[in-house]
Structures are given as structure tokens and as C-alpha cells.
């Protein structure tokens, strides 16, 4: 199967049982080159499928294919309870649940193949089959109470249970539109990747971006890091992001997004998408915390929240919105790696205290570049010790089969720390002395 984008790039599936992008407004590129394979060939099998909920009873496909998706029942509910599973009946015993919860029109739904939403336990394999539409069923109920009471769904959506057809980003099947795709190798594409994103007087495009949105977030980690997505005025900006700074340490990760949104008031949405909880003895709880949001250099009031379950919090920034003081300190690590059978990982320590989970570095040292990891907090005036711990050294007997980590520079509050560089060729911690002045 071959598809051609509006601008002429060709996307060819070597296996028809894949997820593809067709008819985009701009070329789809990987490393600057138009792909000649399906998305699963490039990014790996789907780990997460992102849908947008809007009540509908119709099927609109990017490429008409008999049997790709079917819809039964009728749905006109602005607010509904949706369950996405691998079972062909709504209440099948032992079914794997990829998503379940209340949704409203226009809301994004993330079907996660790594965690069973019904049991909060990992799913073996952690990905959909290469036929990403196979064994995916969505059930729409009038309410959570109706679901819990075992009432019949008002609408049932099934995707290509034979696995012989390709799903496409932008396909609408009843009340769900496939809007995004996260591969097991980390690739991420959304419908907005295929069109110019505009809202109000501004645009989400980063070309010639004049506005900066800075997010300060942290987490309670459990069986993985908290993941989230961001919208500005209802339009998604960027892909799925993860935070690694631990809430109990009082620190946060800094995420900087750019666009052309303008100086008026804007609504920033932060969606927690992979909640996990084990309430038993010795259990864990994954949570997401929004510490603060800044826009064009100003930090705004009432931009903090604790998200203990999947959902979206909306914050106002810009315009006449009240501002507050921002966190006192920002620490940026510029790192690179030699990869071998996986990427180099590190953990950050400040004054001997672990403040992050293990994070992967993906920029190769041989490229001459660095990958920036930013953390914020109130470290206090005076001298501090920053520790970068290399955690997963590997060696295969030659220079080309050797995983290493490189600290290229450390920046504190905009100033590069003199002499703060190191090459870590084995597991261990490099410590750097920093000074903060408030």
C-alpha cells in the first residue's frame, strides 16, 4: 500500500497491517528524509494510540477500505463514558483495558498498550500488534454509572479485527478519530503534525516563533515516569512528554515550548495520561504535579496543580492575568552519549539527594552536539554539589561497542559552570561544585 501526501511525499507500507499518515499538508519526515516505510517500520509497533472524542455515527477514512472500522449503535452524547479494550464484547472476563473514563466532546483519549487501566498492572509486551487496529474495540456508555451497572453501550466501535487493513491518522470511526501515534521506539506523530496549527490571533507553528511557554513539573514515579501532553487554546503543542524530577525533593523539570500565540490571554491545558496506582501494602502511586507555568518570561498565578488521576487541568497565562515570583534556580545539564545496545542513562543528585529518576540521553557524542536536561527549584544561596550518576554502562569489547556518558557542560541560572565537564566510561558519579546567589 502506498500513500502520497498533498505535497508529494510518498509513504509506503511494506506490510499493510500498519498505521500510516496520508494526505498531510506538509511532508512527513524522519531525520529530514521522507519515509518510505510505514510508521510501525520506522517507529516500532504502536505503544499508544491517541483518539479525539466527538459524538458521531459516521465513518470517514483517509483511504476507503472495506472492513477497516465498523460502528453499531447511535451516539450524540457530549459527555460519555468510554472504554477501549481488546475484547469483542463490552464486559468480557479477563479483557485488557487500554483506556476507560469520562470524556467530553473534543477531548483526547490515550489508549495505552503498556498498562491495563482496569487493574493498573503492566501489559505483557507493552504494545499493540503490528496490525495496530487488530483487537481494538471502543464502547461508549451514557455514564460511568451505566457502565458499572453493566448496561449496554450506546455505541460500539471495532477496528479491523482481521488485521488486514491499515489505520491512518485522521480516520474517523464513529465517535473516535485517530489523532496520534506513539511507537515503541519513541516516535510520535499527531494530526497536527500534518497541518498548520492556528488558534485565535496566534499559531502553534514554531517557524519564526516569538513566544515561549515554560512549564515546571514533577512527579511521583511508579512503574515508570508520569507522562503528559500540552495544549494552547485547545491545540496540542509538541508530543507526549515525561517528567523525571521527584516531587518529594521539591524540584521540577523545565519544559520550554515555542510558538506564535500573541500577547493576549491564553488557556494552557496539561493532560496527565498514564496514571498508575497500587493501593495494596507496599504499593505505589504515579502522580503529576504542575509547579508553575511561565509565558514570555513571566510566571503566572494559579498555575499549580496536583493531578492524581488521568485528566486535564486548564491554566490562564498572558494578557492581564496576575503574575508571581518564579522558582529561584534553574539547573541545565548538557549531555551526550556513545550508545550501544541502548542509550546511556543518568540520575541527578543535588547535595547528595536524588532528585530525578533515570533518564535516557539520545544525542551521540560523535555528533558534537548536546542534549539539554533542565531542572528547577529553590536550592538556597551558597555552595552546592551537583552529581550526575551514570547507571547503565555496557561494553562489547571494542570502541564501537561501548556505551558511555558525557557531561559537556553545567549551566546554573544562565551561567556556565567553569570546568564542569566529564567523560563517564563506567558506572559512577561525577560531582560538580556550583554556587547560587539570590
Q: List pLDDT tens digits, range 292-324.
A: 998 988 889 989 999 998 888 889 999 888 988
What is the per-residue pLDDT for 14? 35
What is the per-residue pLDDT for 407? 97
In the CATH scheme, what architecture does the domain 198-324 have? Sandwich (2.60)
Domains 198-324 and 329-436 in one fold: no
DSSP state letters, 145-163: HHHHTTPPPSEEEEE-TTS
Task: Please write the tens of the pLDDT for every residue from 68-121.
Answer: 788 999 999 999 999 999 898 999 988 899 888 888 888 878 888 877 878 877
Domain ranges of the chain: 2-194, 198-324, 329-436
CA distance 334 to 407: 6
Tell me the backbone φ, ψ of residue 99, rounded to 5 degrees.
Answer: -160, 145
Which residues lie closer than 8 Å to 329 by C-beta, 6 or more apart?
Answer: 376, 377, 378, 379, 412, 413, 436
What is the per-residue pLDDT for 199? 30
Q: Do 49 and 136 form a contact (C-beta atoms < 8 A)?
A: yes
CA distance 243 to 226: 6
Q: Do 11 and 20 form a contact (C-beta atoms < 8 A)?
A: yes
Nearest to 274 by CA among 66, 115, 103, 81: 115
**Rounded mean pLDDT of 157-164?**
67
329-436 maps to CATH 3.40.50.300: no
What is the maximum alpha-carbon separation in the chain? 68
CA distance 35 to 29: 6
pLDDT band at 64 (very low <50, low <70, confident <90, very high): low
Is 0.85 surpassed by the pTM of this model? no
Q: With 50 as the cut, is the pLDDT of residue 431 above it?
A: yes
Q: What is the mean pLDDT of the chain?
A: 79
Tell me the backbone φ, ψ of residue 365, rounded to 5 degrees.
Answer: -60, -30
CA distance 6 to 152: 41
Amino acid at each position: 500500500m502506498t500513500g502520497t501526501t498533498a505535497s508529494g511525499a510518498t509513504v509506503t507500507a511494506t506490510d499493510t497491517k500498519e498505521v500510516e499518515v496520508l494526505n498531510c499538508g506538509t511532508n512527513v519526515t524522519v531525520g529530514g528524509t521522507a519515509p518510505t516505510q510505514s510508521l510501525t517500520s520506522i517507529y516500532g509497533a504502536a505503544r499508544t494510540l491517541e483518539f479525539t472524542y466527538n459524538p458521531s455515527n459516521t465513518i470517514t477514512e483517509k483511504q476507503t477500505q472495506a472492513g477497516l472500522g465498523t460502528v453499531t449503535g447511535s451516539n450524540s452524547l457530549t459527555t460519555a463514558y468510554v472504554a477501549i479494550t481488546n475484547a469483542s464484547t463490552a464486559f468480557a472476563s479477563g479483557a485488557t483495558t487500554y483506556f476507560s473514563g469520562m470524556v467530553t466532546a473534543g477531548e483526547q483519549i490515550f489508549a495505552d498498550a503498556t498498562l491495563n487501566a482496569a487493574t493498573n498492572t503492566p501489559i505483557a509486551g507493552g504494545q499493540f500488534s503490528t496490525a495496530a487496529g487488530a483487537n481494538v474495540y471502543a464502547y461508549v456508555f451514557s455514564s460511568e454509572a451505566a457502565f458499572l451497572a453493566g448496561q449496554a453501550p450506546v455505541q460500539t466501535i471495532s477496528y479491523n479485527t482481521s488485521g488486514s487493513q491499515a489505520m491512518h491518522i485522521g480516520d474517523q470511526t464513529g465517535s473516535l478519530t485517530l489523532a496520534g501515534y506513539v511507537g515503541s521506539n519513541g516516535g510520535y506523530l499527531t494530526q497536527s503534525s500534518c497541518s498548520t496549527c492556528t488558534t485565535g490571533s496566534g499559531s502553534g507553528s514554531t517557524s519564526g516563533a516569538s513566544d515561549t511557554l515554560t512549564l515546571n513539573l514533577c512527579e511521583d514515579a511508579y512503574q515508570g515516569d508520569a507522562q503528559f501532553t500540552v495544549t494552547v487554546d485547545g491545540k496540542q503543542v509538541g508530543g507526549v512528554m515525561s517528567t523525571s524530577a521527584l516531587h518529594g525533593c521539591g524540584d521540577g523539570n523545565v519544559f520550554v515550548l515555542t510558538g506564535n500565540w500573541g500577547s493576549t490571554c491564553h488557556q494552557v491545558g496539561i493532560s496527565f495520561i498514564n496514571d498508575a496506582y497500587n493501593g495494596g501494602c507496599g504499593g505505589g502511586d504515579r502522580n503529576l504535579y504542575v509547579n508553575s507555568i511561565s509565558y514570555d518570561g513571566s510566571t503566572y498565578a494559579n498555575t499549580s496543580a496536583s493531578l492524581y488521576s488521568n485528566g486535564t487541568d486548564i491554566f490562564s497565562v498572558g494578557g492581564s492575568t496576575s503574575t508571581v515570583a518564579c522558582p529561584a534556580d534553574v539547573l541545565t545539564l548538557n549531555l551526550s552519549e556513545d550508545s550501544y545496545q541502548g542509550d546511556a542513562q543518568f540520575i541527578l543528585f543535588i547535595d547528595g539527594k536524588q532528585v530525578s529518576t533515570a533518564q535516557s540521553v539520545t544525542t551521540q557524542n560523535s555528533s558534537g552536539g548536546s542534549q539539554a536536561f533542565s531542572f528547577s527549584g529553590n536550592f538556597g544561596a551558597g555552595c552546592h554539589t551537583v552529581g550526575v550518576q551514570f547507571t547503565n554502562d555496557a561494553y562489547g569489547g571494542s570502541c564501537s561497542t561501548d556505551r558511555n556518558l558525557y557531561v559537556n557542560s553545567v549551566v546554573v541560572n544562565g551561567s556556565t559552570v567553569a570546568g564542569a565537564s566529564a567523560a563517564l566510561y563506567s558506572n559512577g558519579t561525577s560531582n560538580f561544585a556550583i554556587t547560587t546567589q539570590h
